[in-house]
Each structure stands twice: as structure tokens, then as C-alpha cells.
């Protein structure tokens, strides 16, 4: 994998700069900022023509290295925040405790695996799935105060912890960030989907975007990586790093 930015080596574009990145080197490169403030990072993949999924899944746009970085970002996070539709369509499972991250996580005061936090208004989720019945740490459900009481009861019975982060049926995205941070879950990672990510963008709480640009085109009318109502003024980001492997670009942008 080549590091194209920051340019630390003038041969960055040559085969000579192509090197194996160890897990530790990648984890260092993607480390969260120090400090007590919450930091919300998104990890998404897009085709060249802007598709955020193909036939309902992101896997056709992904690659082995993309999945490796996906795993690194999870290994660094306190919490993975994900929309209910992505959980339903992508068959989410609990996050694994990976031996390779054990020392790093212990040193950072983190549990062995990140907590999964599912954002849902309906709580129309299959609570018999391992995501809810077998996690290392109870899966969180972020919902609104008006969530259906019977679904909240089913969720709790299954072992999930239900957190209220909105006054109505839905979650207020900024409040979700604050509620998680108040539980000590500061290093936040959202894996989408586009409807959820669009709300984090619109609320002005997305700090960083790790976007994989997949060297594919899909045409069609697939969602982009962020949907929902447009923001009044486009939010500006600046590039923090750019890696390349097999034509896939692993970009990392920070909000200015």
C-alpha cells in the first residue's frame, strides 16, 4: 500500500514506496485525537460514480484492504454507531475482541471490543440475533423518548440497553454523540448508512470521514454515502491522509 499524502517520500508514486503496512502502523496512522472531547468519525465506501451500495450491500464496492481498514477503525473505536437499516440489510454481528488490539485497547482504557450502538425509531429489529444476545458488551439502542414501549421492552429483555437521545420518535444526532460521550464512549465511529450519516453531517457533528473510493462504476440510482435534506452551506473538510492499494483510494478527511 502506498501513502500518497502526506508526502513523506518523493518516490511515493513509484513501486519502490509500495510496502506492507503492519496492523500497528495502520492503527497509529488512524489514531483518534487525544483529549476528552467526543470525536465522530465515519467510515464509508463509494464507487467512482458516487454509489454507496450495490444491490443493497456495500461489499461489492469493497476490497480486502478496505475490510482491513474497516477492522482497524473498529479496533480503535469505543463505539460503532450504525443505522437500523444497515443492521437489517448487512446482517450485523457483535464486534469481535481481537488479540492484536488487546494491548492497545487496554492501554487506552477501552474494553476488549467496541460497543455497537444501533440507531432506530421503530426498534423493528430482530432481537433474537447474536448482535443482541451474544455481544461481549451489551448492544446499545439509541432511540427517541416516544419509541414504542413494547419494542423497548423486547429489546431490554434480549439484553440490549436502550438509551434515549431524542424527545420525539427519533434520535437527535447531536444528542446521540453527547449521550455516548457521557458514558465514556468518546472515540466514536459511524458505519452509516447514508440516511444516518446525512443527519450527522446536517447536525454539524461529523468530525472526520474515512472514505474509500472504490475503482468501480455502478450507474443506477443507488444512494450516495450521505442522504437526507441538504445542508444550507456545504461543510468543508481537509484531507488528512491518502493511501492507495490496487486502485482503491483510502482517504481521510477532517472537518475544518
Residues forming contacts to ligand NAP in the complex (CB under 6 A) are 44-45, 52-53, 56-58, 83-86, 89-90, 119-122, 124, 170-171, 191-196, 199, 223, 225, 227
Question: Between 105 and 142, whose beta carbon lies closer to ligand NAP?
Answer: 142
Pair 75, 26: CB distance under 8 Å: no
The Cα-based distances of 167 to 102, 142, 146, 254, 255 in angstroms read 38, 12, 7, 30, 28
Residue nearest to ligand NAP (CB): 193
Rounded-to-integer distance, Cα 45 and Cα 152, Å: 32
Q: Which is nearer to ligand NAP, 110 or 165 (CB)?
A: 165
Q: Which is nearer to ligand NAP, 17 or 223 (CB)?
A: 223
Nearer to ligand NAP by Cβ, of 113 and 171: the residue is 171
Do residues 205 and 174 lie in contact, with contact meaning Cβ atoms separated by under 8 Å? yes
Beta carbon of residue 177, minimum distance to ligand NAP (angstroms, whole number)? 12
**What's the closest the beta carbon of residue 65 comes to ligand NAP, in angstroms?**
15
Closest approach of ligand NAP to the CB of residue 236, in Å: 21
Distances in whole angstroms, Cα of residue 76 to Cα of each of 55, 185, 217: 30, 12, 31
Give the shortest CB-58-to-ligand NAP separation in angstroms.
4
What are 255's three cell numbers? Answer: 472537518
Q: Let me know how long the chain is.
A: 256
Q: Residue 107 Cβ, how far from ligand NAP at the closest point, in Å?
A: 29
Residue closer to ligand NAP (CB basis): 114 or 194? 194
Task: State in angstroms the smallest separation of the CB of 33 from ligand NAP.
Answer: 22
Q: Give the long-range contacts of residues 181-186, CB within 8 A, separation 24 or more.
A: 181/37, 181/38, 184/78, 185/78, 185/79, 185/115, 185/117, 186/32, 186/36, 186/37, 186/38, 186/39, 186/78
Cβ nearer to ligand NAP, comparing 90 with 161: 90
Amino acid at each position: 500500500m502506498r501513502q500518497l499524502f502526506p508526502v513523506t517520500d518523493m518516490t511515493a508514486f513509484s513501486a519502490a514506496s509500495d510496502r506492507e503496512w503492519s496492523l500497528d502502523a495502520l492503527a497509529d496512522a488512524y489514531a483518534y485525537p487525544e483529549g476528552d472531547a467526543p470525536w465522530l468519525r465515519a467510515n464509508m465506501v463509494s464507487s467512482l460514480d458516487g454509489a454507496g451500495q450495490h444491490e443493497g450491500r456495500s461489499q461489492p464496492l469493497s476490497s480486502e484492504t478496505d475490510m482491513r481498514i474497516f477492522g482497524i477503525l473498529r479496533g480503535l473505536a469505543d463505539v460503532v454507531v450504525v443505522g437500523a437499516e444497515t443492521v437489517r440489510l448487512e446482517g450485523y454481528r457483535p464486534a469481535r475482541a481481537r488479540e492484536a488490539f488487546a494491548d492497545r485497547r487496554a492501554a487506552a482504557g477501552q474494553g476488549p471490543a467496541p460497543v455497537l450502538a444501533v440507531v432506530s425509531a421503530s426498534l423493528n429489529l430482530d432481537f433474537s440475533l447474536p448482535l443482541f444476545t451474544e455481544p461481549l458488551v451489551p448492544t446499545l439502542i439509541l432511540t427517541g423518548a416516544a419509541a414504542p414501549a413494547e419494542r423497548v421492552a423486547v429489546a431490554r429483555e434480549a439484553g440490549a440497553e436502550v438509551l434515549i437521545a431524542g424527545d420525539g420518535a427519533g434520535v437527535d444526532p447531536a444528542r446521540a454523540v453527547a449521550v455516548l460521550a457521557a458514558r465514556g464512549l468518546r472515540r466514536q465511529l459511524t458505519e452509516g448508512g447514508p440516511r444516518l450519516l446525512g443527519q450527522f453531517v446536517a447536525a454539524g457533528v461529523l468530525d472526520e470521514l474515512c472514505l474509500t473510493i472504490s475503482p468501480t462504476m455502478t450507474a443506477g440510482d443507488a444512494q450516495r454515502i450521505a442522504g437526507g435534506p441538504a445542508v444550507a452551506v456545504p461543510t468543508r473538510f481537509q484531507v488528512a491522509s491518502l493511501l492507495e492499494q490496487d486502485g482503491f483510494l483510502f482517504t481521510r478527511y477532517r472537518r475544518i
